[in-house]
């Protein structure tokens, strides 16, 4: 049932977001003439590699410059159009195709790089027990503003406690978290 819902939501999302995808792709292409899509190998369920798709937000060859794979706030490698795409999370829209292909789910821990997975301890490897997602428990609790270790703990909580109610909560809270709000739990409400 989860797979059917993933395909239905991702397919519908692709249809409705196609104008935004087209505008984003045009902005990327016009800025520097480079490729529109950025493809990167990430680690999925059970430790299997897959090719993650994003709209390119950094200069071509960014991994060989500056901080490598790490991206800091204000990173000079991020293009002008990339800053806007990242702020609105529009660069993530091509991952709906990853969901349709079965590499990802709508909801789950964000997919990570192999070098990050190699640093997991035995308990943290349980993060790979579910498909990675476009949005997840860590995303509605602060996204990249959280320290890496805290994001992993939030993802592990999700893996242990996931059910349809938690997934619905994540789905409904995600738009608010994109625009600056952070969910602090049942009693904590939202904060900016």
- Tokens representing 38 are 């950025």
Q: Of 19-28, 67-76, 150-159, 161-170, give the lowest mean pLDDT range.
A: 67-76
- Structurally, the chain folds into a number of domains equal to 1
Among 38-52, 64-78, 97-111, 144-158, the minimum mean pLDDT is found in 64-78
> Is residue 75 within 8 Å of 58, Cβ to Cβ?
yes
Count, in order, helices (H) and strands (E) of the chain: 6, 6
Are the CB atoms for 138 and 108 separated by under 8 Å?
A: no
Measure the CA–CA gap between 103 and 154, rounded to whole angstroms. 21
Determine the distance from the C-alpha atom of residue 35 to the mean position of all C-alpha atoms in its chain, rounded to a whole number. Answer: 20
Confidence of residue 187 (pLDDT cuts 50, 70, 90): very low
pLDDT surpasses 50 at 189: no
Backbone dihedral region of 171: left (phi > 0), alpha (psi from -120 to 50 degrees) or beta? Answer: alpha
* Of 69, 71, 41, the residue nearest 53 (C-alpha): 41
Domain range enclosing 99 = 2-191
Strand ranges for 77-151 from DSSP E: 105-107, 133-135
Whole-prediction pTM: 0.85
Q: What is the pLDDT of residues 150-183, one digit of tens each?
A: 999 999 999 999 999 999 999 999 887 766 544 4
| 40, HSE (Cβ side, Cα atoms, 13 Å) | 21
């Amino acid at each position: 049932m989860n797979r059917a819902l993933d395909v239905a939501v991702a397919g519908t999302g692709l249809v409705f977001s196609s104008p935004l995808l087209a505008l984003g792709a045009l902005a990327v292409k016009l800025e520097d003439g480079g490729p529109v899509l950025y493809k990167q190998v990430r680690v999925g369920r059970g430790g299997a590699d897959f090719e993650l798709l994003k709209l390119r937000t950094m200069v071509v060859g960014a991994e060989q410059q500056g901080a490598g794979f790490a991206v800091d706030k204000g990173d000079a490698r991020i293009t002008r159009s990339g800053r806007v795409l990242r702020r609105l999370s529009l660069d993530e829209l091509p991952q709906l195709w990853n969901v349709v292909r079965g590499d990802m789910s709508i909801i789950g821990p964000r997919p990570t790089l192999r070098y990050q997975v190699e640093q997991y301890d035995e308990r943290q490897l349980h993060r790979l027990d579910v498909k990675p997602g476009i949005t997840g428990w860590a995303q509605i609790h602060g996204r990249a503003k959280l320290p890496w270790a805290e994001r992993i703990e939030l993802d592990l909580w999700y893996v242990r406690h996931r059910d349809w109610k938690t997934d619905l909560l994540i789905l409904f809270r995600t738009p608010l978290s994109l625009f600056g709000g952070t969910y602090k739990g049942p009693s904590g409400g939202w904060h900016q």
